[in-house]
């Protein structure tokens, strides 16, 4: 297959890519030309990102942006077709890069940075949806007025989310710890960098790469944010996007269980910062106590008790997570 040429047309009826990258990734393009101010980068894996991509295409300022989607090895022809349709309908230049195998979240973001051609990159996770009509306009204005390389974090919300009984615990946890106003996030700028909605200058992304040592789910964005904050301005603003991907209790607990090694790696890399966090202090205290397994079991049972008050369930979830991490400190 020949190398990708942005002037080539994509054959939508046959679902054929227009080329392949040096890394063996298929490339699909809408072949639109234009000078973009920012590149919207969307990493995805087994997610069509329908709500996000439909929303972005309708927002004022979309024509001033390039859309770059990186499918990290989903290997799903139906999903590829869905993503291609979004590429074809986007008002500005748009590409889908489809990787032959799944490598991970850090790799996907590093690849998006390498493929982007503008000075400013807007990272949005596939399960996000902008809250306001001015979402892109705000970031476009910031990219024009910001005089030095910086990281600009827009924040989280649950405005468009529709929690169910099965996802109510995750919604409450997200509301309490992630959906915070800019003035609160700015008090610990590096710790509150959620890469699901950030605008970053290319200089930062080229200088400070996402660490491939973080595998699976969790903590790679906190590690990256802390490293960025040590060298560049991290600016928190209120330009939120909704996290639509609320997990069921079982899925959330599965993710926590799979994030232990990443948490340990984060502590090793940032001992001073992380030792001051409530989660670490609770985990460290529990690590010195006997009977960790019964504590973990009781905490997990409380978190999963659907008829218990939500504050009690949140406490159980935090206690379970701390006991889980503490067992490995």
Contacts of 118 (CB under 8 A, 6+ apart): 36, 37, 38, 39, 66, 202
Its pTM stands at 0.92
Name the phi and psi angles at 244, rounded to 5.
Answer: -85, -20
Domains located in the chain, CATH noted: 19-245 (3.90.550.10), 248-329 (no CATH)
What the block records as the tokens of 157 is 């919300």
H helices present in the chain, as ranges: 50-58, 77-89, 105-115, 135-145, 168-177, 182-185, 202-207, 220-229, 249-258, 260-269, 271-274, 278-287, 292-303, 310-326
- Given the DSSP bridges, would you call strands 156-157 and 65-71 parallel, antiparallel or unpaired? unpaired
pLDDT tens digit string along 206-230? 999 999 999 989 999 999 999 999 9
Q: Is the dihedral of CA 96, 100, 102, 105 positive or negative?
A: negative
Terminal-to-terminal C-alpha distance of the chain? 49
d(CA 49, CA 162): 16
Do residues 324 and 257 lie in contact, with contact meaning Cβ atoms separated by under 8 Å? yes
The values of phi and psi at residue 27, to 5°, are -120, 130
- pLDDT the model gives residue 292: 86
Positive or negative torsion for Cα 117, 118, 119, 123:
negative
**Whole-number pLDDT of residue 16:** 58
The band of 19, judged by pLDDT with boundaries at 50, 70 and 90, is: confident
How much is the average pLDDT of 45-54?
96
In tens, the pLDDT along 26-44 reads 999 999 988 899 999 999 9
pLDDT over 70 (residue 8): no
CB 38 within 8 A of CB 49: no
Higher pLDDT, 249 or 13: 249
Closest-CA residue to 91 (of 33, 149, 47): 33
3-state SS assignment for residue 61 = coil
């Amino acid at each position: 297959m020949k190398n990708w040429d942005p002037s080539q047309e994509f054959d939508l009826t046959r679902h054929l890519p227009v080329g392949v990258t040096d890394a063996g990734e298929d490339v699909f393009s809408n072949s639109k030309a234009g000078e973009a101010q920012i590149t919207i980068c969307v990493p995805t894996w087994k997610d069509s990102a329908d709500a996000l991509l439909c929303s972005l295409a309708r927002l004022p300022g979309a024509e001033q942006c390039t859309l770059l989607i990186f499918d990290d090895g989903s290997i799903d022809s139906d999903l590829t077709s869905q993503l291609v349709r979004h590429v074809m309908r986007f008002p500005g230049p748009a590409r889908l890069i489809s990787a032959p195998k799944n490598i991970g979240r850090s790799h996907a973001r590093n690849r998006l940075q390498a493929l982007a051609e503008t000075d400013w990159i807007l990272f949005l996770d596939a399960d996000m949806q902008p809250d306001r009509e001015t979402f892109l306009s705000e970031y476009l204005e910031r990219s024009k007025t910001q005089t030095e390389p910086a990281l600009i974090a827009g924040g989280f919300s649950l405005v468009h989310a529709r929690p169910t009984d099965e996802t109510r615990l995750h919604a409450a946890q997200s509301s309490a710890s992630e959906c915070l106003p800019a003035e609160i996030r700015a008090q610990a700028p590096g710790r509150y960098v959620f890469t699901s909605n950030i605008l970053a200058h290319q200089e930062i992304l080229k200088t400070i790469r996402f660490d491939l040592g973080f595998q699976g789910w969790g903590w790679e964005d906190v590690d990256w944010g802390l490293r960025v904050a040590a060298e560049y301005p991290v600016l928190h603003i209120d330009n939120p996007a909704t996290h639509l991907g609320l997990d069921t209790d079982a899925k959330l607990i599965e993710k926590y269980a799979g994030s232990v090694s990443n948490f340990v790696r984060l502590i090793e890399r940032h001992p001073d910062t992380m030792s001051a966090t409530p989660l670490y202090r609770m985990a460290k205290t529990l690590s010195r106590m006997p009977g960790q397994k019964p504590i973990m079991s009781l905490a997990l049972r409380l978190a999963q008790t659907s008829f218990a008050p939500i504050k009690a369930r949140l406490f159980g979830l935090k206690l379970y997570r701390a006991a889980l991490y503490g067992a490995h400190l």
